[in-house]
């Protein structure tokens, strides 16, 4: 359900120019300049100075790569609605997680090592978010299945139908009608009370063999059956299991947004410290001379 950045991580040393002659020159040489993204450093051929400069540049490039592909995207996570249609209640709860970096990419695994050492709660909270998204998707599937199950029983002509033989229901329009009412009531403080008020004031009608609810022709049959159709549809509206599912989806959406906010607040200081060149890590062996030389 979440979008993937899908980055391929390239060696951060690939564009570095360096001299492997570390001997002290017998004659003075011109100074060299090593330029990064927003800076230039002057150094001579003193191997000690060169080493500090070279590995400092590599470390900064490593941190900037982590920031660009992992920390900054995490600090801008967003839950985006992706419902293609809002005729049906479950579409109001379909989301995509924007800016989540690919958790299978190598650069993410490198950043994950930093998170484990520098803020052990952060990877746990990201994993919690992943589990919450799975739970939310399961709730959507359950709600859709429950609605289909109960409305399908009213849309077929059979003795198992909860209505009298002879009324033909249009399943899609029944679902649309029910969704309209649930959507209009789901943001209220008391969804049951809202539904009761709707039912009390509603004015369904029968016209030329069609039963109209909220302007939708949801069924066909003898006009004498209007009260029967009304009772069936209103009982579905008040179905306790479906109402619980809708309430659970609302609560799940709030939980997702709260979790995203928490992660963003935890990641932002890391991203800002890298931007300000103030970031340091507790991870052992990160960007040591040996680590960088292995990439050469």
Q: What is the domain partition of the chain in residue ranges?
A: 32-140+268-294, 142-245
Instruction: Give the pLDDT of residue 37.
Output: 56
Q: Are 23 and 117 in contact (CB under 8 A)?
A: no
Burial of 212 (0-12, 13-18, 19+ CB in 10 A): middle
Residue 142, exposed/middle/buried by CB under 10 A (0-12, 13-18, 19+)? Answer: middle
183-207 in b/e burial notation, b at 16+ Cβ within 10 A?
bebbeeeebeebbeebeeeeebebe
pLDDT at 240: 93
Per DSSP, the chain holds a count of helices (H) and strands (E) of: 9, 8
Please report, in tens digits, the pLDDT of each residue of the chain (296 residues total).
444 333 233 333 333 332 333 333 334 444 455 555 555 555 444 444 444 444 457 778 888 989 999 999 999 999 999 877 778 999 999 999 999 999 889 999 988 888 887 767 899 999 999 999 999 999 999 999 999 888 877 655 443 444 444 688 888 899 999 999 999 999 878 899 999 999 999 999 999 989 999 999 999 888 888 998 999 999 999 999 999 999 999 999 999 999 999 999 999 988 998 888 888 765 555 654 434 434 43
As a whole number of Å, the CA-based R_g of the chain is 31
pLDDT at 31: 46
CB 234 within 8 A of CB 78: no
């Amino acid at each position: 359900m979440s979008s993937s950045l899908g980055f391929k991580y390239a060696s951060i040393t690939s564009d570095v120019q360096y001299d492997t002659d570390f001997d002290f020159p017998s004659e003075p040489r011109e100074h060299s300049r090593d330029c990064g993204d927003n800076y230039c450093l002057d150094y001579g051929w003193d191997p000690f100075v060169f080493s500090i400069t070279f590995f400092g540049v590599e470390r900064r490039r490593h941190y900037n790569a982590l920031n660009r592909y992992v920390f900054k995207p995490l600090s801008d996570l967003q839950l985006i609605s992706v419902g293609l249609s809002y005729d049906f209640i479950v579409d109001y709860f379909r989301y995509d997680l924007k800016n989540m970096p690919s958790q299978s990419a190598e650069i993410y695994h490198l950043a994950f090592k930093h998170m484990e050492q520098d803020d052990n709660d952060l990877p746990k909270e990201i994993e919690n978010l992943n589990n919450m998204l799975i739970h939310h998707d399961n709730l959507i599937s359950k709600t859709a299945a429950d609605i289909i199950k109960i409305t399908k029983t009213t849309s077929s002509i059979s003795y198992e139908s909860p209505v009298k033989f002879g009324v033909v229901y249009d399943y899609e329009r029944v679902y649309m009608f029910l969704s309209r009412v649930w959507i209009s009531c789901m943001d209220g403080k008391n969804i049951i009370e809202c539904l009761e008020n709707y039912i009390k004031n509603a004015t369904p009608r029968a016209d030329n063999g069609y039963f109209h609810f909220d302007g939708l022709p949801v069924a066909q049959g003898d006009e004498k059956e209007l009260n029967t159709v009304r009772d069936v549809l209103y009982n579905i509206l008040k179905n306790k299991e479906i109402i619980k599912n809708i309430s659970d989806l609302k609560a799940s959406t709030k939980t997702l947004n709260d979790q995203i906010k928490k992660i963003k607040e935890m990641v932002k200081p890391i991203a800002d410290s890298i931007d300000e060149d103030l970031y340091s890590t507790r991870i052992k062996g990160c960007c040591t001379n040996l680590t960088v030389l292995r990439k050469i």
